[in-house]
Every structure is written in C-alpha cells, then in structure tokens.
Amino acid sequence: MKITFYNYTYLNAISPSADDKIIFGEGDFLLGVVSGIALPNIDTQSQTAPYQDGSTYLDTKIQSRTISLKTTLLTGQGEVYTDRAKIYRALNPKLGKGTLVYENGTFTKSIDCVVSAITEDENNNSDTQRFMIEFFCDVPFWRDNTITEVIFDDSTIVNNSGNVETPVIITLSNGITNPIIQNITTGQLMQLTYVIANGERVEINTEFGNKSITHYDSGDNPTNILAYLSNLSIFIDLQAGNNEIGYTGTSVDGTFEAKVSFYNRYLGV
C-alpha cells in the first residue's frame, strides 16, 4: 500500500516538480499506521415536537473527515535535512487544497484535502525521523481517479457505480433553444430560457458550493448565465446505481450534443 500527496502547486503546474509531491510507502518515506480512510462520522438528523415520545428522523449527513498517517524517514545523516525540507515544501498548508491518492494493489482512489497538522516525534535523531501528518477533507468522499463521460439523448441510462450520489458537469454543445435537462429517476429538472447557437456550448456544474452555468461563445469566451435558469429548477445529481437522464428543447439542431461528466464517489476505502 502507498499513499501519495500532490500539493496545489503540483496539480496546477504546467511542468510539475517532484518536490511538490510525497509518496508514503516508497523510497525514504516509510508508511506506518493510517486512520480515517474508512467510513467517516455520521450525523443523524431528527426533530422532536412537544409531547412527542422519541423523535422524527429527517436525514443522514456524512461529516468531513480527517485522515492521519505516520511516516518514518530512513535517511543517512547527510540526507535528513533534505528530506525534512521536502516534507515542509510538499506539505505546506498555506498552498491550500491538494489531493491524496490511495493505492493498495487492487484499486486506486483519490480525495481532496488540506494539511491540518504535522507533528514530529520528540525522539527524532539524525538517522530516523518520525512524523504524524493529518489531512482535513471537507468533502468526505473518495472518488475514482478518472472521470466518467457519457453522451446522452432524450432517454439514456447512466450508471453511478459509486455508493453515494454524485454531482455532475453537463455540457450542451451546438444548437438548442430553451433546453430542459432532467434526471427522470430522481425527478430533478433544470430548465434554461436561453439559445445555444452552433459552435457554442453551455457547461452546468451541479457540485455543492461550486454551482454554475457558463456559456462559451465560438471564441471560447465565458459568460455567467445562471440568471437564465428557471426558479423551479433543481441542480441535478446522480444517485447511486442507474439514472435515466434526458433532454428536450423548443427546437433542437441535428448537430446538438449533450454530455454528462462525473466521478464515482465512495464512503471509504
């Protein structure tokens, strides 16, 4: 098993540096005990009315998770400070969100996180350095490393093979007027009062905290068109398992294409 952390600089660089990632479980960085990678804490929400015995169940929410790992640096005296410098460069919490990648020989999963604590063992010496590192994951779900993309028509089955619902990015390309996108399985529907011309596209992001609808003209110039979404619309997602999704419009060009992109998400690894 090995766990790799890629910091923000690495993820956004045109030519990433090896100093902006650390592989725990390979080379000088031994991987010790890892915790927080399985099912995160659960928040069961309920309400109680006056004179009610017990309570009424409302919903279950998954709380943010913290992943902790212990690592040992096995280096010669001349290399210990080089490896320590690598830890503090790659795990610099001021850089913001990075990505933790878990590999166990059977599958590989990723999760976005920030470094929340680095604790050194008080018995560190020139030959052996031990650290406890904690990563805070505001979104608690692991995901596949590769994104799934499906071209859909007026009725297409799309499978979310993860075990929790997942947000999507919907791309509408070429000619359509007043598009309606629907997850028929869940009843969620999004309606735009808008014209997408040939050579143009609209991208809809349904992720919580990042919801957006952006129009790109033929020159790839972006415009926020969230205001053109009807008041009764609900940003759709994919429930675990099969979802029937489709589109309609008051007029649809023969070159029109609709695509849904998403990551399968998981409660733990």
Strands 176-177 and 195-196: antiparallel
Kindly state the average pLDDT of the residues 116-138. Answer: 85
Residues 79, 188: one domain?
no
**CATH (domain of 249):** 2.60.120.860
CA dist., res. 53 & res. 198, Å (int): 61
pLDDT interval class at 78 (50, 70, 90): low
Per-residue model confidence (pLDDT) at position 126: 65
Residues 44, 125: one domain?
yes
Per-residue model confidence (pLDDT) at position 121: 83
pLDDT interval class at 76 (50, 70, 90): low
- Rounded to the nearest integer, the mean pLDDT of the chain is 92
Tell me which residue range forms the domain holding 218: 148-266
Residues 128, 223: one domain?
no
Residues 136, 158: one domain?
no
Q: Which of 106, 140, 174 is the last residue of a domain?
A: 140
| pLDDT of 183 strictly over 70 | yes
Residues 115, 39: one domain?
yes
Structure-token match 């590192």, residue found = 133
User: Does residue 22 contact residue 11 with C-beta atoms inside 8 Å?
Assistant: no
Q: Which of 140, 160, 182 is the last residue of a domain?
A: 140
Residues 173, 245: one domain?
yes
28-32, 123-127, 208-212, range with greatest mean pLDDT: 208-212
Residues 152, 123: one domain?
no
Residues 257, 164: one domain?
yes
Q: Which percentage of the chain shows pLDDT scores above 70?
A: 97
pLDDT interval class at 18 (50, 70, 90): confident
Instruction: Please provide the DSSP assignment of 58-121 as one string.
Output: EEEEEPPEEEEEEEEEE--TTTHHHHHHHHHHHT-GGG--EEEEEE-SS-EEEEEEEEEEEEE-
| pLDDT of 2 strictly over 60 | yes
CA 221 to each of CA 43, 151, 189: distance values in angstroms, whole numbers, following the listed order? 42, 24, 27
For the chain, how many structural domains are there in total? 2
Residues 37, 133: one domain?
yes
| pLDDT of 77 strictly over 60 | no
pLDDT interval class at 249 (50, 70, 90): very high
Residue 135 bridge partners (DSSP):
67, 115
pLDDT interval class at 235 (50, 70, 90): very high
**Tokens found for residue 95:** 């850089």
| pLDDT of 45 strictly over 90 | yes
Residues 29, 125: one domain?
yes
Q: Considering the entire predicted model, what is its pTM?
A: 0.88
User: Does residue 146 contact residue 129 with C-beta atoms inside 8 Å?
Assistant: no
Kindly state the average pLDDT of the residues 179-202. Answer: 96
Q: Which of 140, 161, 192 is the last residue of a domain?
A: 140
Kindly state the average pLDDT of the residues 129-139. Answer: 93
CA dist., res. 96 & res. 67, Å (int): 16
**CATH (domain of 115):** 2.40.30.200
Per-residue model confidence (pLDDT) at position 259: 97
Residues 175, 124: one domain?
no
Residues 128, 16: one domain?
yes
